[in-house]
Amino acid sequence: MRLSTIFRVKKLVFGAFLVFFVLKWAVVPLYSAMKRNMCQSVHNVLFLKTHKTGSSSVSNIFFRFSKSRGLTVALPRKQIYSFYWPWSFQANFVDNLPEEKPNILCSHARYNQTTMQSFMPPGTNFVTILRHPLSRFESAFLFEDFPAFLGIPASANPFQHFFEHFEKFKHDINSMYTLRNGMSFDLGLEPDDFEDATAIRNFISSVENDFHLVLLMEYFDESLVMLKQHFCWTLEDVLYLKHNSRLRSSKKHHIPRQFGNKFLDRNKADVLLYEHFNQTFWRKVKSQYDNFWSEVRLLKQKSHAMAKECLLPGEHKDERRKNIATKLILNPRVGHDMEHLCRELVKDEGGYLTYFRDIQLRER
Ligand SMILES: Nc1ncnc2c1ncn2[C@@H]1O[C@H](COP(=O)(O)OS(=O)(=O)O)[C@@H](OP(=O)(O)O)[C@H]1O
């Protein structure tokens, strides 16, 4: 080969490397940053609040966002907390039935695809959250104080007693919709279909089609960073505190291992639902942008720091649920600059519904 040809090839290779590095280190990050800055913040969201899945902590985020941006929130009628759950959602369950459609709906409701899609503005993002069915059941069973309702002795492991005497209780819990396939029920699956494998498969596909994001309670931070990214929100928008936790003393019992299969068999729809969205969740995580994990770490740190800053230390009983649930109490020593944010983070659903009732119903 002639010397001049070798030089030309070298030049070409060098040029190719140069173009590659400029693209990799300058153009692509610049383009991603521009895309992020150009994205439009999502304002219309329906959050299908499933029971005992960390949903109150997520609702706090939607309420806070709505308040800070002056958005309209759909309010349950008759001063109650839910849209007549367990009935399937209807438009006349909403109090502020406005001519203009609401931006946000995030209180308990049973999913009704047709009604909800026409009730919300076109292009509304549908979001929900799931939790592993076993631990979700434990939470629902104790939070609603079913052991007392069923006359289970206080000294027993309530789960052991429940499953050992299952035939006796079966009838009593027939209409306790949070206790069997609770998440699938909330998302619209009919109890008559709980044993129908085809109906369950079709149901999961329709959730997949209708919902833009399915969060997982066990991966709360990952879920929220994904939400923040998808909605073009800031990390501050998705800061959170843990609402509605049971007291530590009510977490000492679990479903004994020997009843695990019996439980999973009775809750097939929820098990398949959770498995399916666990898989799609990790597929989505894999396709996230470069600094996804550093944002997850940051959100964890910041939310942890907010809990330290905002909350009166210790565990406090929620007086309405004396032996079961905790209540978040604002730290009276909170710094002046943090007070506003802390108040909003601590506020529970009742506090927000009162706030939005006051301003939205006054405006009419
Ligand atoms: N951020 C975060 N991370 C992990 N877990 C969390 C979080 N926020 C709430 N929780 C747990 O969720 C349970 C309460 O769920 P919900 O708020 O959906 O309950 S409710 O249906 O609105 O009554 C309740 O579960 P249990 O404590 O097991 O009962 C809460 O502890």
pTM equals 0.90
Give tens-digit pLDDT for 224-269.
999 999 999 999 999 999 999 999 998 999 999 999 898 999 999 9
For ligand 1, is residue 223 a contact (CB within 6 Å)?
no
Give tens-digit pLDDT for 5-23.
777 777 777 777 777 766 6
| CA–centroid distance, residue 240 to ligand 1 (Å) | 12
Average confidence (pLDDT) over 335-352: 96
For ligand 1, is residue 220 a contact (CB within 6 Å)?
yes
Please state the atom number of ligand 1 nearest to the C-alpha of residue 129. Answer: 18
What does the pLDDT read at residue 97?
Answer: 65
Which range (61-65, 216-220, 273-277, 354-358) has the least confidence? 354-358
Predicted complex ipTM:
0.99
Give tens-digit pLDDT for 269-290.
999 999 999 999 999 999 887 8
With 70 as the cut, is the pLDDT of residue 351 above it? yes
For ligand 1, is residue 182 a contact (CB within 6 Å)?
no
Name the pLDDT band for 364 (thresholds 50, 70, 90). low
Can you give the chain as a three-state secondary structure string? CCHHHHHHHHHHHHHHHHHHHHHHHHHHHHHHHHHHHHCCCCCCEEEECCCCCCHHHHHHHHHHHHHHHCCCECCECCCCCCCCCCCECCHHHECCCCCCCCCEECCCCECCHHHHHHHCCCCCEEEEEECCHHHHHHHHHHHCCHHHHCCCCCCCCHHHHHHHCHHHHCCCCCCCCCCCCHHHHHCCCCHHHCCCHHHHHHHHHHHHHHCCEEEEHHHHHHHHHHHHHHHCCCCHHHCCCCCCCECHHHHCCCCCHHHHHHHHHHCHHHHHHHHHHHHHHHHHHHCCCCCHHHHHHHHHHHHHHHHHHHECCCCCECHHHCCCEECCCECCCCCHHHHHHHHHHHCCHHHHHHHHHHHHHHHC
Average confidence (pLDDT) over 309-313: 97
| CA–centroid distance, residue 245 to ligand 1 (Å) | 5
Average confidence (pLDDT) over 136-159: 91
For ligand 1, is residue 321 a contact (CB within 6 Å)?
no
What does the pLDDT read at residue 154?
Answer: 85
What does the pLDDT read at residue 99?
Answer: 74
For ligand 1, is residue 136 a contact (CB within 6 Å)?
no
What does the pLDDT read at residue 363?
Answer: 63
Name the pLDDT band for 52 (thresholds 50, 70, 90). very high
For ligand 1, is residue 66 a contact (CB within 6 Å)?
no
